[in-house]
Structure 1
């Protein structure tokens, strides 16, 4: 699947370009299958079968004198989960069930749940996955709101995709209301949970993606981590494209991320991910790399997530710890050092505060 930046593109122009691609596709053993046009953003996305990326670029160049901004390979299951069983008109333009043009964009919901146990004995790693009862109810609400669950992307969060911003936001609010209003239904004497949600608008392919919807998946995960416990975080663009969303976003349980804060969040996670294993990666260094004073970083992060930079960085490291424990390639001490903790005992203490159990008491199936 590829993407083209074509400011001002009209559907009729995209149709002509697609017909030119079809006329020369056999020369490079390429078969064009479908395409999406988003006139508002000036984006065109093409789906094709080809022996390699070079053949696709050569076909576009020969047919229309242009090349794609980026090309990614797509897996059948992942493609279907995000794009659905696409309907195409006689010229391969993708349309929805009403015959309207499918603009290609999708709306991602990332439900981030942290299980907290009060058990003191050894437990299986699977018990630290998303708690069963709330996830089952969330899946029901996703289906009710015409969403699709994308399970295979992560063990520690639930990801869903929607065709409209309204269905995505309304589903998130229903999940939020259910969990906050009936939390006792999902908790027990031995288990509890915390949750956040991050929503975002996604393009199938961007200029920097290595896989389909990669940027959108990252953003939804970042926004979920930024949000306070029990809240929904989403970009201001939801307000800009939907009158209903503009109304629904006016509430205490929602954090609206403006465009400057979106840039800040991407920089924040880019720098954290690059330095996650460094013991000497301090908040002072993080502030310097982002270009803010420590006081500015504290105010900015606290206003969005109600947490300090120190706590935020520690929480990100502890979420990575779950993945490393699951992989079972490192000892607990090695995991601590891998994630920038200078003291394994301190790492174990922080882990227990977050998840309710020491990392050494988690059993993992081989």
Structure 2
């Protein structure tokens, strides 16, 4: 145990420092919410990721976005659905391109283009198998794309995990099997709610949460590799839901102010429940910015999420939630400036 801890501390120490703009790769299960499904929203995938993505795009001037993989899900119902990268290009990309001129005029620093790719596991509904040999990535183009993006970087790449851990687990397994620890050493995995001792899960079974049950083998594998010191894995737990979202302003009077811009409208209409916007996965990227309640160094790098740490980080995000939402609103208004 001591050896694993020392290995992890060494990895965290030698991992490249954050650049001026954190480099980001996103894996999200988000998809077109007009595709009917059996969840409480009547959609195939929880549309909270839609709101989180709109918020990310409003904040995109603060990040170096290397890639975004959508529909990273193994729900069988998705196999025959249309190409979700085309949907994302229209839905998110269209709103972003519409608002881009005003955002760059009023704020500046927004990239001209942000790329969306459909996940390689969406058409196959494949789940990670720890016994499988992933040396070849010929069937996993969006895993290969991540590693290609990491290959030439001198700064850390922050891999944000908003749902299934199947693709990150395949990437880690491949790197270990092919002795590419140099690539693992350039990545930080930052996961939303794949563990919680307080919400859905319990102190006895913190992994009993939806994002971990969804692909339990991948979740278990990533936590094991983090505990062993092979990877850096920051587990946010439920601090997005029970910090940023719970602490947010409430009511249509506030959130209707976002509707002056295309991205602001997508943010509000993604998932509006309980009198506010649910964009809980956003915790993964607000931790990268500093000064918004929770910083990445407040979350352990070994995949663990002790009860006292989760509660402390919930409180920090809850206390900063109004400022976070006001910043998003400021940018949404800038996006519609004449």
TM-score, normalised to structure 1, is 0.29
TM-score normalized by structure 2? 0.31
